[in-house]
Amino acid sequence: MRTKILSLLMMLTSIAGFAQQDAQYTQYMYNTVNINPAYAGSRGVLSIFALHRTQWVGLDGAPTTNAVSLNTPLNSSRLGLGVSIVNDKIGPTHENTISADLAYTIPTSETWKLSFGLKATGNLFDLDVSRLNPVDSDPNLQNYNNKFTPNIGAGLYWHSSKAYLGLSVPNFIETNRYDDNEIAIYKEKINYYLIAGYVFDLNYNLKFKPAILTKVVEGAPLQIDLSTNFMYNDKFTLGLAYRWSASVSAMAGFQVSNGLYIGYGYDLETTKLENYNSGSHEIFLRFELFKNNKRIITPRFF
């Protein structure tokens, strides 16, 4: 096996070691279509979403994520469609992921619906080895420019106006982002997601929703996100979240108008990384188009 520059191995190994295979979101409950294609169209309106996340501020090479998505029901049919673009930067790597989602929904009772979803994805991967500052010259080290890898995924989403339960695998195919034709150094592994939440009406103006996200990746610790959100008067949202053995988060949101919602989240690390960064920031906008000026029936929590 050819000798590799140590800095390259350490950098790419550390990226995989953070278990950040898919882009990470604190407020995933507003961006569910990115992790579960069965969510597409489930809100009953055309929903446009944009998010910016800056992780581990102050740490050189820390992840930065930008995500844009659109999902909508298809006329009066049971089909839902979605399209999303995710731009993710970590150290010397730069990825653009474009996905298309198709969901089909069937009623399982008077109040519950079950959606089946398929996701088709194309990933463009860049590696700028000059950012690694190698100490030796190795002709085997090459920049990667727009290396393309396709993938497919699927999901289930069971939901009512008060609760939801979802299981998804956005990418079924393990792909090598970078290798030297002998061993994969940076490998995209399969991510498994389980999400659930329930909305309690505490009184006429106040709603409370506990939720959980569980993420499983081979070779990485189990990730569990627990969150609680309160919504007042269908306008103001405040919440707290805990990512198991990783971080605590504060979340806030405001319904600016019937169609426009803005949200912000702040993460504070609980690991040794807290000594090297000042936290993570996440801001998003969601805009929805309603037919005949009708408001959405289901709670805005999901």
The reported pLDDT for the residue numbered 15 is 45
Tokens of 112: 């519950």
User: Does 6-293 carry CATH code 2.40.160.40?
Assistant: yes
Domain residues of the chain, as ranges?
Answer: 6-293
pTM comes to 0.85
Exposed/middle/buried for 112, CB within 10 Å: 0-12, 13-18, 19+?
middle
d(CA 31, CA 40): 10
d(CA 58, CA 153): 34
d(CA 82, CA 49): 11
d(CA 285, CA 235): 14
- Which residue type, as a one-letter code, is found at position 130? S
- Which residue type, as a one-letter code, is found at position 23? A
The reported pLDDT for the residue numbered 16 is 43
The reported pLDDT for the residue numbered 70 is 96
CB 251 within 8 A of CB 264: yes
- Which residue type, as a one-letter code, is found at position 137? S
The reported pLDDT for the residue numbered 60 is 85
The dihedral through the CA atoms of 276, 224, 25, 232 has a sign that is negative
Distances (CA, A) of 56 to 52, 97, 242: 13, 22, 16
What Rg value do the Cα atoms of the chain yield, rounded? 20
Please give the full DSSP string across the chain, using - where no structure is assigned. -----HHHHHHHHHHHHTT-SSPP-TTGGG-GGGT-GGGTTTTSSEEEEEEEEE-STTSTT--EEEEEEEEEE-TTSSEEEEEEEEEEEETTEEEEEEEEEEEEEEESSSS-EEEEEEEEEEEEEEE-GGGG--SS--TT---EEEEEEEEEEEEEEEE-SSEEEEEEES--S-EEEEE-SSSEEEEE--EEEEEEEE-EE-SSSEEEEEEEEEEEETTS--EEEEEEEEEETTTEEEEEEEETTTEEEEEEEEE-SSSEEEEEEEEEE-SGGGGS---EEEEEEEEEE-GGGPPPSS-TT-
d(CA 156, CA 104): 10
What percentage of the chain carries pLDDT values higher than 90? 59
Residues of the chain with pLDDT under 70: 1-21, 131-144, 176-187, 291-300
The dihedral through the CA atoms of 30, 31, 36, 40 has a sign that is positive
The reported pLDDT for the residue numbered 281 is 96
CB 97 within 8 A of CB 123: yes
CB 70 within 8 A of CB 49: yes
The reported pLDDT for the residue numbered 185 is 52
Residue of 218, 280, 209, 276 lying closest to 243 (CA atoms): 280
- Which residue type, as a one-letter code, is found at position 148? F
The reported pLDDT for the residue numbered 180 is 54
